[in-house]
Structure 1
């Protein structure tokens, strides 16, 4: 080769080298310029420093029981924040080993991992660091195109480096685990631990933690609830990565890889879990509370910036008065009686009813009105109406068979029927409400608003008002006791008539007893209440009149409308269970009425108290007379002596050999049964020194009921639920619920032994002593 050719070839090599470095530095400059421009918002807008300091996150608000248990959440995302020190070390090790082996060595971007990902086209692992994944979670919606994803990727690199400058490595891991969506309404590791393993994040075992870390690759694919085998495989991959990074030994790997998934899945939903009816009533109360404004237009309870709090995203802690175990026992008691005993009896009764589930005396036109009302209240109607479907078309649709899921006590049933038939079917179920109250504090301990919130969302504790029947009678008697009438006073067992023109009466009215017989014997007021004798209660009402009874009821916290009619004495008024329990608790609380309280305080996400709640109280009656009423109502469950010497009471079956009974006779219970016209509503109010509990049972519509009082009376429908509940409560000795007697006031001088009373008082029956009584 000549010198000339050598120089020419050398010149060509120089050009290539120059071109290479020119391209290299140009590419480097362009790339550096691109990232510089990107970091300064010259191309696309990136999160501000303030946003990096305070990344947006929706935090669920937690509902806490009085014994410190989580009983539910309100959320858009079911997320509960957790601090780094509460994340198990083995979970951190699993996450780093699997997702970012050089996490502690890089500053947001793993160059080695990126080069490897490019060289092998991602077949040997991705390049995204935990910081980049966090950037994606915090600041991006899912990309719609490849170009958009490439754009997002470069933005993630910049954001990741910014995150690394603003936060420690521990804070980045904490934010990542708090933000990641593990699907199934489980956002963040704390919620995921609860949903998948029914535990808290700090209690996760290594296999459980590895399962959740494995989900980070693709939570839909590695969903333990839907694909357990695939999830186990992925969990073992995590174990393999931990072995590779010396986080576990070979022996541990061999043992761990053989373990089953150990899933304890617990669905989290606003209608699922403990106390769903209570949580919905509480939600509406909180919504009202946070929307209240001062006269100047500012919110009464507001965040530092003046905005109202949101129960769905502000991570509030709402401390309630419910006790988790009492709530559990109450829900169990309702289901135990209705599903296993009462509902089967009711269906057997309906076999003899032509228009089932509606009573035979209900006309077809009335039934159609009831069903049409059910149509208008249904979700199906709401959605069709929202879509602008014509009324005639909606009616046609409701009469076409479709696939649906209906309620049963044995679990949801997938079936095919018309929506109209499903409405009629669901009308055949009996419902119940239960509220249990601590009479000394006025705090609600248990709240069961219905039988299944998914299918029957209407609350029967505070929203529902039904005729209360004979559970109203103690208020009439209490008025009499307050006015000096002795419970041992005797009156004859004969009809009592209210004449036309008195107390708004349009005609004569003579209430009858359930057995319609009158023996003419002299009976005590105590016996009259114990056996729920309508004529004896009517006699008491006649002494004072409806106006005085209504005024007295207002002192006991009854706010529902009450008509000024004599039949009020027999419980014709529609009153909520919430009001009734609060009123009956007054007798146990020494005559002091307290408005039932179910929230104690609300804290913000930082733990600062933003609202505290105190009970509203007033003196409704004297301590002595309140105790007298308790002694009087003990006759309902213990029996009061009849003229023939036998002890009788509408609630004494609590002591008989039944599954819900066997309550010792020496255990004081002040109670009152209640049954309304046509057996549409059954009630039982039962009081002990530590708990006052009311139970209502009935169908959704009053035209659906038992045919006979023997089955439809409160002693058969509601009282067993009370018995099941209290037997569970008393069996749990850790609760410390008293089995003793009510506190007797000092210097109490009322004579309650009617034999002694009658020896010291000559009770001559006459007009002067029994004004207005019709012989």
Structure 2
């Protein structure tokens, strides 16, 4: 009986153990048979296309901007630093290279948690299981999902190599702050390429997968360092790093350089134009397509344009006095850098300098050379006396702006005035630089392509070009004398800027001296409608032109881009080009999806009207004459500030509207057109003396000096149909080369004398006698 009882007890005990096991196996088998047909095809992992963001690049491949919810930069296995592989396996799965996708010990721990707590807290996932979860599954913590994860991990291990699995893992894992993958995290947290990170930085990134929001160094640096040092300890224990490496690494600071996306080019106004164009054409999918858009803009020219606009507006601001601090004894963290103008708090005021604590904690000294400009702004364009000491300018506790220049730190302030620059290549219309305002984040309004402003005297060259194309010459005499017009009970008596009149004057001198009365007479003589139609050839907005004689003074509104397009016709010898800013687009694999095919100038072609070539819209003779006259604007006229470039192959025209509300300079060389503008968004006077030659020309100079630095001087060649004739600037008639009032003029060949006179010629009748 005892043996029977013992046998029965053994059987009962075995049954108590085996039946649940068998039941569990049956349940697992049922789940397996249910889940296997539903498993996704792991072969798809061999052809993964990551949701990489849209990148906007300069023509030479430098990053301008990145658009998309996920920062992803996929790597190949060879691009993964070996030390990172050691760090991440030490942290996440130290048996990765030896197991077959499943870690029994980790699973046992997870199963115990499920039985005892009803949920899985620690996971037990291998790197392969995490790949299965990240690419195929949700993040819910259920038994069904975990079992599916195990099955997929097994399938993945049978299909892919360890190297392929690890590559998928490091490219997909979320690492906080919109960074997906280690390459993106390297840029986001340290501002570096992953290959340039050191051991402690690699270990810190390896610590992020467990809890990105908890362990990232931006949100919690102490906890991130604690996690990093734990991983370094694991690497040391596993023999991956030496004692010396370990000790040095755990002592290293966080080394954070958080910057989100690394932008190498300051061109967000341009980037926004590109983004908007692509969304309209291709839809919202572009944000995850991995496309790279190469613009036509070289990085160095774009950065030079930004500096030119910034420095020009700061210089204008200096001329009009210091308005005072932005705040007093405020929290410096509430203020942010704007286009290089760093916020700081004045800590100490010395007799001839101040000590300032910047927002990032750096302590600087601003010497007297950086303070002495700050005469107090008294309003209405008035400024106070020059300061004698630093205490005349600031007080301790002032929140100020600081700008670092080549000469050191200086006091600055955020300009209230705005400005812009647009540059393009007149030979094909490709944009070379675009700055739509002082700072994109302060104002996203792109003044180059939005709104439009009165152009002032910048319009005059197009009226003069029409005259040259219809019987006038640069030597034609026109009367600079008073005019008066009556409109009902209103009387309009236009004036020149200087309030004076010069009497009979050549067309050339009238333009480079910007005589208003001459422009009005010239427009009146030709007729409004013919001139407006003619100006339409240049791409100017005909619909915006007033149907009255104020057009001669630039009362119309135009976009800076339209003005640049118009002046390009002079620069290129008479052709109409169409501006464009996207050079080509590639997909994530580098395949070209689009390449621009602009109309380009081909002045030497037998048939310049053929497909692919820009159409001629004004004669080559007229373009050359205008270039010669607009060169004189710089040599003798209102644009003399551009002489600072030291080049004889640049020309242009200033523009200033009533009460100096707008200051323009439209200038160019044979290879580059640049238009600059300075003014207030809500039109107001820029102040006494702030003409185009004062406010806008310096911005143009600064940009062109850099942009043309490597371009040889090359003027415009005189086309056939013209003759160079020594001409009197007094009466516009041919004269001898010994005449002190003579100059070289370019006249139609059929109007040129057969020989140069030996003495000054008497004044004779001209085609414009009716204008007197």
By the TM > 0.5 criterion, same fold? yes
What is the match of residue 685 of structure 2? 705
Residues in 1 aligned to 2:445 and 2:498: alpha-carbon distance in whole angstroms: 34
**CA–CA distance in structure 2, aligned partners of residues 508 and 467 of structure 1:** 22
2:674 match: 693
Match of 1:224 in 2: 217
Q: CA deviation at 1:413?
A: 11
Equivalent residues in 2 for 1:46-65, closer than 5 Å = 47=40, 57-65=50-58
Distance 1:185 1:427 in 2: 31
Mapped to 2, the partners of 1:244 and 1:123 lie a distance apart of: 28
Task: Name the stretch that deviates more: 569-578 or 166-175.
Answer: 166-175
Cα deviation per residue 1:64-121 (whole Å; 9 max; x = unaligned)?
Answer: 2111112112213232333333333333333223222222223322223333566799
2:252 corresponds, among 256, 259, 266, to 259
Offset of 1:654 from its aligned partner?
A: 3.8
Whether the aligned pair in 2 keeps the contact of 1:458 and 1:464 (CA below 8 Å) is no
Q: Is residue 707 of structure 2 the alignment partner of residue 726 of structure 1?
A: no
**1:560–1:50 Cα change, 3 Å:** farther
What SS does the corresponding residue of 1:471 show, helix, strand or coil?
helix
In the other structure, the counterpart of 1:770 is 768
Match of 2:290 in 1: 315
| Cα deviations by residue, 1:707-746 (Å, 9 ceiling, x for unpaired) | 43x13x222322222222233445xx6xx234x1323245
1:278-302 Cα distance to aligned partner (Å, 9 max, x none): 12222221122226xxxxxxxxxxx
Tell me the C-alpha RMSD between the 2 structures: 3.7
Residue 676, structure 1, aligned to residue 657, structure 2: yes
State the secondary structure of the residue aligned to 2:35. Answer: helix
In the TM superposition, 1:165-204 aligns within 5 A as 165-204=158-197
Shift of 1:459: 0.9
Per-residue Cα deviation, 1:657-707 (whole angstroms, up to 9, x for no partner): xxxxx433x4542121111123222111121233211112222222x3334
Q: How far apart, CA to CA, are the structure 2 residues paired with 1:552 and 1:485?
A: 15
In the alignment, which residue of structure 1 is the partner of 2:205? Answer: 212
Indicate whether 1:542 and 2:545 are aligned: no
TM-score of the two chains, using structure 2 as the length reference: 0.76
Identify the residue that residue 35 of structure 1 maps to in structure 2.
32
The answer as to 2:467 corresponding to 1:480 is yes
Secondary structure at the aligned position of 1:495 is classed as coil
Matched, 1:737 2:711: yes
Q: Deviations over 1:483-541 (max 9, x none)?
A: 353323343432245676xxxx9976543111111143x43322222222212222332
Cα deviation for residue 448 of structure 1 reads 0.8
CA contact (8 A) 1:88 1:201 kept: yes
Instruction: Provide the C-alpha distance between the structure 1 equivalents of 2:291 and 2:242, rounded to a whole number of angstroms.
Output: 42
Distance in 2 (alpha carbons) for counterparts of 1:251 and 1:753: 84
For the residues of structure 1 that align with 2:138 and 2:569, how far apart are their CA atoms? 57
The answer to whether the 8 Å contact 2:63/2:265 transfers is no
- Alignment CA distance shift 1:140-1:124 (3 Å): closer
- For 2:537, the equivalent position in structure 1 comes to 555
- Provide the residue aligned with 1:103 in structure 2: 96
Quote the residue 2:424 is aligned against: 437
Q: Secondary structure at the match of 1:769?
A: coil
Distance 1:137 1:463 in 2: 44
CA distance in 2, matches of 1:314, 1:650: 50
1:244 aligns with 2:237: yes
Structure 1 residues 163 and 560 mapped into 2: Cα distance closer, same or farther (>3 Å)? Answer: farther
Under a length normalisation based on structure 1, what TM-score does the superposition of the two structures give?
A: 0.76
**C-alpha distance in structure 2 between counterparts of 1:754 and 1:556, whole Å:** 30
Q: What is the aligned counterpart of 2:594 among 611, 621, 626?
A: 611
**Could you tell me whether the CA contact under 8 Å between 2:640 and 2:693 is conserved in 1?**
no
Give 1:771 deviation, angstroms. Answer: 4.6
1:751 aligns with 2:724: yes
What is aligned with 1:334?
309
Q: CA deviation at 1:443?
A: 1.1
SS in 2 for 1:631: helix
1:753 to 1:607, Cα distance in 2 relative to 1, 3 A: farther
Q: Deviations over 1:144-198 (max 9, x none)?
A: xxxx544433332233333334433333222222222322232333332332233
Aligned to 2:266: 274
Q: Provide the C-alpha distance between the structure 1 equivalents of 2:764 and 2:9, rounded to a whole number of angstroms.
A: 136
Distance 2:243 2:184 in 1: 31
- Ranges in structure 2 where 5+ consecutive residues have no aligned partner: 325-332, 346-412, 600-613, 736-755
Q: Residue 514 of structure 1 aligns with which residue?
A: 497
Kindly indicate whether the alpha-carbon contact (under 8 Å) linking 2:471 and 2:767 is maintained by their aligned counterparts in 1. Answer: no
Task: Tell me, in whole angstroms, the C-alpha distance in 1 between the residues paired with 2:136 and 2:489.
Answer: 73
Query: Is the 2:338–2:442 Cα contact (8 Å) retained in structure 1?
Result: no
Q: Which has the higher strand share?
A: 2
On the 8 A contact 1:406/1:413 being kept in 2, the answer is no
Structure 1: give runs of 5+ residues left out of the alignment. 292-308, 351-402, 415-425, 640-648, 656-661
Q: How far did residue 455 of structure 1 move? A: 3.4
Question: CA, structure 1 residues 112+341, in 2 after alignment: closer, same or farther (shift >3 Å)?
Answer: same
Q: CA deviation at 1:467?
A: 0.9
Task: Please say which of residues 51-60 and 169-178 is displaced more in the overlay.
Answer: 51-60
Q: Structure 2 vs 1, CA of residues 134 and 564 (structure 1 numbering), >3 Å: closer, same or farther?
A: same
- Distance of 2:222 and 2:323 partners within structure 1: 49
Q: Does 1:714 align with 2:702?
A: no
Are 1:663 and 2:645 counterparts?
yes
Is residue 650 of structure 1 aligned with residue 638 of structure 2? Answer: yes
Q: Report SS of the residue matched to 2:444.
A: coil
Q: Structure 1 residues 186 and 766, CA, compared in 2 at 3 Å: closer, same or farther?
A: farther
Question: Residue 275 of structure 2: which of 280, 283, 290 is its match?
Answer: 283
State the Cα distance separating 1:599 from its structure 2 match. 0.7
Alignment pair present for 1:596 and 2:579: yes
| Local SS of the residue matching 1:592 | coil
What CA distance in whole angstroms lies between the structure 1 residues aligned with 2:300 and 2:675? 17
| Alpha-carbon distance in 2 for matches of 1:442, 1:135 | 50
CA distance in 2, matches of 1:405, 1:149: 47
Q: CA deviation at 1:568?
A: 1.5
Q: 1:495 aligns with which of 482, 500, 523?
A: 482
Rounded Cα–Cα distance in structure 1 between residues aligned with 2:317 and 2:698:
13
